[in-house]
Amino acid sequence: MSLDLMDLFSGEPFQSGIFPKTRYQGSKYKLTKWIADCLGHLDFETVLDAFSGTSSVAYMFKAMGKTVIANDKMHFNYQIAKAFIENNAITINEEDINFVLRKDPSYLYKNIISDHFEGIYYLHDEDIWLDMVTQNIHRMHNEYKRAIMFWALFQSCLSKRPYNLFHRNNLNVRTADVKRSFGNKATWDKPFEQHFLKFIKEANLAIFDNKKPNKAINSDISHIAYDEVNADLVYFDPPYVPVKGSLTMYMDFYHFLEGLANYDSWETKIDFNSKNKAMLKTKSPWEDRKFISQEFFKCISAFKNSKIAISYREDGIPSIDEITAFLQLMGKRVEVNYVNYKYALSKKTKVREVLITGV
């Protein structure tokens, strides 16, 4: 489908859903116009999105006509970047949908979800449906069709979850016959297939060709060297580590989606001692107040020859002053922009979102 790049990026059409919306912790979807305005004066043709997440900012760069390299350590986020950033033309057709939604009598299906997640996130018949559809998606030959299907499956799973998260064994929140002050039970109870088809349609509408060789990468950013990507601009939206309060543990929140993307090896990664069958924990400096600053500055240093843009919040570790001082020591001219913002899943009324640039 051919889309006008100006429509993708100018004002209301882009913001109202050309790139599909999602409720994802820390997503910058609603801030893309502001970020683009802040970066509008910079001269760059190639950009590395170091923590691409939902790919909303990477998609913004793609719509600006830049060559985009979207990287994320989580495999399910990599699939999203594969679908919308690297993919320029492939969409889903009726034959693809029929293949994914029908059980193949000649294929021996596994039952990882129905065997291990009974009563945790979804109803029994929904677990069976997920087992079948997930394996059918993995069996698709075209990597871009596979990635689009995964995105639609991820969004369907999020839509049917209270809080849009997988951090608790709380199916009862959805099934209990009580008066609710949040959520939408009708959405939670809508069949998976209806959600799935809706998101396939949204995905097809979002795919476009910006005539650039865009790329999705599935790596730890600390393992990527400057000369591997040669990006004029490197955009960082790192995991948020606050001075006080709880950390945002992305794998705890989205381990189920990561499992879907790694279905064949999922059983080897499940922590069977956890009530919600989360994944076995691996230590990360991005989730440690003692080591976050060291890791943060090490990664920035690796791209000292590029322009730097950092999405941040004013109460994080390291501090804005520390980041500014470090960029200045690298010889960068630093600019700091602020905007008030309310995160959908945050208990705080408002925080100041920050964009730090070093040129």
* 181 against 330, higher pLDDT: 330
Handedness of CA 143, 149, 150, 152 (dihedral sign): positive
Q: Report the number of distinct structural domains present in the chain.
A: 2
Residue 7: pLDDT band by 50, 70, 90 thresholds? Answer: very low
123 lies in the same domain as 268:
yes
Q: Is the same domain home to 196 and 123?
A: yes
Position 2 pLDDT exceeds 90: no
Q: What percent of the chain has pLDDT over 90?
A: 75
Per-residue pLDDT tens digits for 187-217: 999 999 999 999 999 999 999 999 999 999 9
Same domain, 63 and 198: no
79 and 104 part of one domain: no
d(CA 246, CA 313): 15
Token pair listed for 309? 């843009």
132-146 average pLDDT score: 98
Q: Kindly provide the b/e burial profile for residues 92-131, where b requires at least 16 CB atoms within 10 angstroms of the residue's own CB.
A: beeebbebbeeeeeeeeeeebbbeebeebbbbeebbbbbb
Residue-number span of the structural domain to which 268 is assigned:
90-206+243-282
| Residues 43 and 174 placed together within one structural domain of the fold | no
Residues in the chain: 359
Please compute, for residue 102, the number of CA atoms within 13 A of its CA located in the half-sphere on the CB side. 9
Average pLDDT of the residues in 72-85: 97
Domain limit, last residue, from 254, 282, 310: 282
User: Is a pLDDT exceeding 80 seen at residue 23?
Assistant: no
Residues 158 and 80 in one domain: no
Tokens of 306: 């590029």
Residue range 227-244: mean pLDDT, rounded: 92
pTM for the complete prediction? 0.91
